[in-house]
Structure 1
Amino acid sequence: MRHVSHRARSAVRRCVGIGVGLLLGGCAGSASLHEVRDFADQSAKLGAYNELATRYRDTYSREQIYLAPSADQLAKVADARRRAVYDDFISAQKAVVLYMQTLAMLAGDERYDLGGRLDALGKGIKANVESGLEQRHVQAYTGMTRLLTRIIASRYQSSSVQSMVRDGDGDLQTLLDAMLTLTRLYTKTYENEKKTVQGLFDVEIPMANRPQDRMLATLARVHMVSKSAEYKLLDKRYDLAVQGLTKVSIGHRRLREHVDDLHAADLKVLLVGYANDLQAIGLGLQPIH
């Protein structure tokens, strides 16, 4: 009789253990989704993209000393416009990063706690003709917020990966398009800043040709060399941002195509390649000190 009771108790413990495991995330079901996890994890690290948005916002503080008085007032107006939309730009990026962070956690084989992560989202975004943000981008942000709220509230990890990929791809692709649109804006603003600074050197240094201007001209040339080196690095970073966002978009589209078989061998090979590429791109987007 005691032997039977012991077996019964063991069976109950096994059942309870299985039930708890399912509630805590279905780890066994997601253990082989490491390629999905790594791709999403590397995609989320494009948060370093944030520096390009900050550079865009702070353009005037850098270029002011190079501006002619006649151009300063117009630059102040542009500065106010950039600062007014900065939070919207960051919100769009935060939604994409949080989506990828959540996907990485769901695809992992560890227990997870997503409570409070929605606090990382911004306050929302607004359409803006000058920046290129459209109503469809606003709607995608709203849809992404709702999806994240639902997924984070769910306790079924393995099924949430498929649900997230299936339901989130449309809004994610639209938000990535928004980020690419903003990257083009950042690049255009940066190119204008570079043209302003280099133009000043091109005009002023040849004019500093008197003996008493020698030290001034030498210092200006040293500064020009330093700025040229900085611009070469920045040229590459804007290109890398476009490459990274494009890679995330393509990689997630492949996930959506294989959503009913995330264990497919060809998908795993693709995701490993995308993750490696994104890791390299992320290193190139580390902040310049």
Structure 2
Amino acid sequence: MNALRTLSTSALLAASLLLGGCASNRVNLEEVREFADASARLGGYAELSTRYRDTYLREQPYLPPAAEQVAKENDARRHAAYNDFATIQKAVVLYMQTLSQLAGAARYDFTPQLDTLGVGMAGMSNTTLGQKQVGAYTGLARLLTRALTSRLQKESVETMVREGDADVRILLEAMASLTDIYAAAHENEKKTVLGFFEVALPLAERPQDRLLHTLARAHVQAKTGEYRLIERRIDLARQGLAKVAQGHQKLRENLDTMSSSEMRHMLSDVVRDLRLIRAGLVTD
């Protein structure tokens, strides 16, 4: 870890000295910076990961005794996988943050994030991820530790995109697949909770149970609204991941024409869509 911190600190120093002499390239990289920044700030996915991890806490009061043991086992598996899921997301965010800063003028201290990546790499011996995802994470982490040592700003961006494309694509695909897992867990939770009330409410229709029945119906309405909101967030997360993947693929395919009007308009369109998706998540 000390070696990683030393490398990252040296990289930051080199980048700080070099970025000052590359102002002429920044106008050509403006759309790249905006795309990377919008991708890093998309949001929503981390919250879905946390919600997936905490499924048992929400559904436990509504579980029949016969389902309790299986639910506890599923809860243990979710917690074991959560750190891996979060690690993937953090790696993609740090990649986009780095790309944004290399394409811009601002300075940013990446040392804490690089340290986190180092910890993540050390913990991969007990991962729940597949070999393909572990390889992509490791490759991206290594790229990020040396990304800021490039001699020219524009070459740094091109190197990041060219060398990181395959790993970023694998990790984005993994995140999309995990979103499907989150959606399935959400659907099961919804069926468990609302199914409980479908059975219980008819049993509380006696006049003396009116207050209980009213409170239960209000609770059902609140949970139904909550589930609709989560379903919308899952849909927006899918859209956002697909849009990030599309933008990065186009960027990789058109590195030689990165400053062309067509390429810049394409990235601007992707940025607009990402901002709309993020606005939808914030509004929710």
TM-score, scaled relative to structure 2: 0.87
Q: Which residue of 1 aligns with 2:47?
A: 51
How far off its partner does 1:206 sit? 1.3
Deviation at 1:278, TM superposition (A): 0.7
Structure 1 position 108, deviation (Å):
1.0
| 73-82 or 108-117, larger mean C-alpha shift | 108-117
Contact 2:44 2:237 in 1 (8 A): no
The amino acid across from 1:283 in the alignment is: A
Instruction: Give 1:241 shift.
Output: 0.6
1:46 Cα shift? 2.6
Q: Deviations over 1:148-207 (max 9, x none)?
A: 011034453221001111111110000001101111111100110011011011111112
> Given that residues 25 and 112 in structure 1 are in contact (C-alpha distance below 8 angstroms), is that contact kept between their aligned partners in structure 2?
no
Aligned residue in 1 for 2:208 = 212
Superposition pairs of residues 1-289 of structure 1, within 5 angstroms = 22=18, 24=20, 26-111=22-107, 113-121=109-117, 123-124=120-121, 125=124, 128=128, 133-154=129-150, 156-286=152-282
Aligned 8 A contact 1:38 1:104 in 2: yes
Match of 1:17 in 2: none
Q: Which amino acid aligns with 1:82?
A: R
| CA–CA separation in structure 2 for the residues paired with 1:202 and 1:38 | 48
Name whichever structure is richer in helix by fraction.
2
SS of the residue 1:46 aligns to: coil
| Offset of residue 273 of structure 1 | 0.9
Alpha carbons of structure 1 residues 112 and 87: separation in structure 2 relative to 1, 3 Å: closer
Q: Is the 8 A contact 2:44 2:233 kept in 1?
A: no
Q: 1:158 to 1:236 in 2, by over 3 A?
A: same
**What is the number of equivalent residue pairs in this alignment?**
265
How far does residue 62 in structure 1 lie from its aligned partner after superposition? 0.6
Is 1:27–1:111's contact at 8 Å kept on the other side of the alignment? no
SS across alignment from 2:148: helix
The one-letter amino acid paired with 1:276 is R
Counterparts of 2:133 and 2:283, CA distance in 1 = 27
- What's the offset of the Cα at 1:262? 1.1
Shift of 1:287: 9.0
Give the TM-score normalised by structure 1. 0.86
1:162 touches 1:260 (CA, 8 Å); kept in 2?
A: no
Distance (Å, rounded) in 2 between the aligned partners of 1:197 and 1:116: 40
Aligned partner of residue 77 in structure 2, secondary structure: helix
- Range that drifts further, 205-214 or 106-115: 106-115
Residue of structure 2 in register with 1:5 after alignment: none
Kindly state the Cα deviation for residue 21 of structure 1 after the two structures are TM-superposed.
6.6
CA distance in 2, matches of 1:56, 1:279: 25
- Larger-gyration structure (1/2): 1
- Does the Cα contact within 8 Å between 1:46 and 1:97 map onto a contact in 2? no
